[in-house]
Chains A and B, each alone.
Chain A
């Protein structure tokens, strides 16, 4: 953890550090270990020496794998990746020069183009680094523009990725794509959109590649670089598309409504979330449509009404969470007069938490710690500064029963990036159609 932190600041990945088991840091702990280890502190301040004593750029050399045949090489490579903590527990494909070159057809950027430092470790991700990650994750060239946009978004300073990459909270990125690219690359917006998905393989591969970048470049190795207690759904993160075709009349896509991006533009929205809950939304069939709509929104609002210290970081410019309504649900609500804005306003109003409940949950201390502006500390307490902070996305299988809530975590603002399409895009899509078959039918 500390090695990652100093590396992130541009130092060699080593530090004069004294570490203790977690027991020392618990309330009412025995502090004797401090006395027993005081020589280590003195040594760190007076005797410790770094092994690297000059400023320089260090490019990792290629790795040679030599075996009898493809199968032997693949086994050797996966064992090597396991030993080096470069994998995710599942088999990886080889990032040979040929495969990386193939993936690089998905961008006009030169392979050496620097995307930025991935914290906390702070190693540098280039376009080539991302192509390598996609090659390992089983990706394809046409996925690369989305991965580049996702990594660009992730390292936006407003997202505090250095914090949630390392935290004990099991945070994972959610990346939502708007625009025609979603359908073109088979990114799912319908049934099973959060995977696993044999029909739309793009989200799994892009999200897995993003996760590999987070770990291998950013240092988020479980238990040492990321202290995420549970990990939770981080094999592939959450990479999916909005069901733009299923939007009710008058509803704008997320990228347009939330960020003001031009309609039809390929845009990626990025925000870290800390979990996901399925909400049984529909009624029993005995209610009127109006009653069902109202009851379902109340039910969703009550799931959203939680004392969540992790959402305070983004209270003003972040989002308390991402809510998924299927096209069926969105259209049912729209037919009953619910606009997107009206739904968000209703959910915000009805998810306010009484201050007494918050105090019982100790939230006042978190509000002080996070230096939440006292003007927002009102009774009942809204889950965000304003209703518009809530992200409402039309996505999921066309079915009326469920909604899905992904609770926001630890980023101070929401971020979006335009997705850049390379020259030769149509050719890439033609090749994908030959290799993967015709585009899946709309669900």
Chain B
């Protein structure tokens, strides 16, 4: 009985040594690549504007890329916000340059500042 127990231990020990040997062999045969991420670097040079505490009493401006029914969708958004915040003021997209180039222009940025916009909703369907 005692001998059988010892024999069993020996067999387990041999198996353990063999298993360790196999794992070591596998590790030795493994191949590691350090490959480049293809997405390039990112420069974060601008920070998102802080959010408003409420829209009540605030001036909300609209910019439109003038595509895909912007002339209907932006007024619909305006109407819904006005119902929720009657004291909010709106400057419609028609008072700013329109189109992809228009809303991307220095003139649009200057007008947003000049009109005192506190929030801007940009319609950017494409």
Name A's B-contacting residues (CB within 8 A).
1-2, 5-7, 9-16, 24-27, 29, 31, 34-35, 38, 41-42, 45-50, 52-70, 72-73, 77, 81, 86, 94-97, 100, 117-118, 122-126, 128-129, 132-133, 135-136, 163, 166-168, 212, 216-217, 227, 369
Contacts and interface: CB of A to CB of B under 8 A. Distances in A.
A255 to B, nearest CB: 29
B53 to A, nearest CB: 7
B32 interface: yes
A250 to B, nearest CB: 41
A118 B40 contact: yes
Nearest 10 CB-CB pairs, A to B?
A: A25-B68, A60-B37, A10-B45, A123-B40, A217-B40, A38-B80, A10-B46, A65-B33, A58-B42, A132-B36
B69 A29 contact: yes
A45 B30 contact: no
A34 B32 contact: no
- Give the bracket for the number of chain B residues in contact with chain A: 35 or more
Given A38-B81, A94-B33, A369 B39 contact: no
Do most interface residues of chain A lie in helix, strand or loop, or is the interface mixed?
A: mixed
Contact of B33 (A24, A57, A77): A77
A80 to B, nearest CB: 9
A38 B84 contact: yes
B73 A24 contact: yes
7 contacts: A25-B73, A34-B80, A58-B41, A64-B33, A68-B29, A95-B35, A123-B40
Nearest to A27: B69
Taking each of B30, B31, B45, B81, which has the highest tally of chain A beta carbons within 10 Å of its own beta carbon? B31
Contact of B31 (A24, A25, A68, A132): A68
B2 interface: no
B108 interface: no
B13 interface: no
Given A34-B80, A227-B126, A10 B44 contact: yes
B60 to A, nearest CB: 8
B69 A24 contact: yes
A63 B32 CA distance: 10
B124 A2 contact: yes
Nearest to A112: B41
Contacts of A35: 76, 80
Interface in B72-126: 72-73, 76-77, 80-81, 84, 99-100, 119, 121, 124-126
Most interface-central of B32, B34, B84 (chain A CB within 10 A): B34
A189 B58 CA distance: 62
A167 B125 CA distance: 10
Given A25-B68, A369-B66, A62 B36 contact: yes
A107 B55 CA distance: 55
Contacts of A41: 77, 80-81, 121
A317 to B, nearest CB: 15
A49 B37 CA distance: 28
Contacts of B125: 25
Given A9-B46, A26-B69, A38-B80, A126 B40 contact: yes
B6 interface: no
Contacts of A34: 73, 76-77, 80
A16 B52 CA distance: 13
B76 to A, nearest CB: 4
A216 B40 contact: yes
A73 B33 contact: yes
A114 to B, nearest CB: 9
Given A24-B69, A65-B32, A57 B41 contact: yes
B88 to A, nearest CB: 10
A118 to B, nearest CB: 7
A66 B73 CA distance: 51
Nearest to A212: B38
